[in-house]
Amino acid sequence: MEPPNGLSRTARRQAQTRADLIKAAREIIAERGVEALRVSDVTERADVAFGTFYNQFKTKDDIVEAVVAETIVGLAQSVEESPGFGDPEEALVASTRAVVRIAYDDPSLARLLVKLEQAETRFERIIRPQAGALLERGVAEGRFVIDDLETTLTMSIAAAFEVIRGILDGRLGDRADFVCAEMLLRMAGVTPKRAARYVRAAEGVS
């Protein structure tokens, strides 16, 4: 008989183990930094066998990615679930800013992201599902005009990643999140005038 939540007991146990490992890694990173993160410490804190780690993650970088992904996806979901962002343009501005602002608000986490092996690929993997869904929704509602969704999505994700890196490097100023959001709106086919208006609204400027 199928369990009520659709998952077998084994699958539920594996999901809980993964969540416990991510939580343990996040706590250790916060306390000691990523350089001090050791698999043995993670499994000890999560109270699981050492070998269990490698049933869930191939490398230490993989669990660091999971820690970063949990934060980024949580930010994006908070935008999606907000009743104030029913408009795809407003949602794009808010979600872009939420992700890019990690470099301002949590630079240690942002540095973890950009220092990961194949960081750009990992960032794209984290962001792509929700970013793609938002662009598709905007096109379906006639708010975005995009001829090549895949290319536009890839370019948008790459742009956000490079803005995060630029903020961390000190090359970009304190409005980089707004500038990035405006440029992504224009990539989605929003006219420059409308894109600027949405960003001004986000800034609280009339």
The crossing angle, in degrees rounded to 10, of helices 119-140 and 60-80 is: 20
Q: In the chain, which stretches have pLDDT less than 70?
A: 1-7, 79-85, 205-206
Sketch the domain layout of the chain as residue ranges.
1-57, 61-203
Q: Which CATH number is associated with domain 1-57?
A: 1.10.10.60
Query: Which tokens belong to 34?
Result: 């990523």
pTM score above 0.85: no
Question: How confident is the model at residue 12, as a pLDDT?
Answer: 87
- Coarse DSSP helix, strand, coil percentages of the chain, rounded to the nearest 5 percent: 75, 0, 25
Instruction: Look up the CATH architecture of domain 61-203.
Output: Orthogonal Bundle (1.10)
Task: Tell me which residue of 171, 193, 196 sits closest to 181, measured CA to CA.
Answer: 196
Name the DSSP letter for residue 52: G
Q: What is the structure's pLDDT at 5?
A: 56
**Kind plus residue range of the DSSP H or E element containing 139:** helix 119-140
Inter-axis angle of helices 119-140 and 107-115, nearest 10? 110
Q: How far apart are CA 93 and CA 76, in angstroms?
A: 11
Tell me if residue 19 falls in helix, strand or coil. Answer: helix
The answer to whether the 1-57 and 61-203 domains have the same CATH topology is no
* Tally of CB atoms within 10 A around 47: 9
* Phi, psi of 157, rounded to the nearest 5 degrees: -65, -45
Spatial distance between the Cα atoms of 146 and 151, rounded to a whole number of angstroms: 9
Closest CA to 198 of 126, 76, 58, 96: 96
Q: Give pLDDT, residue 73.
A: 80
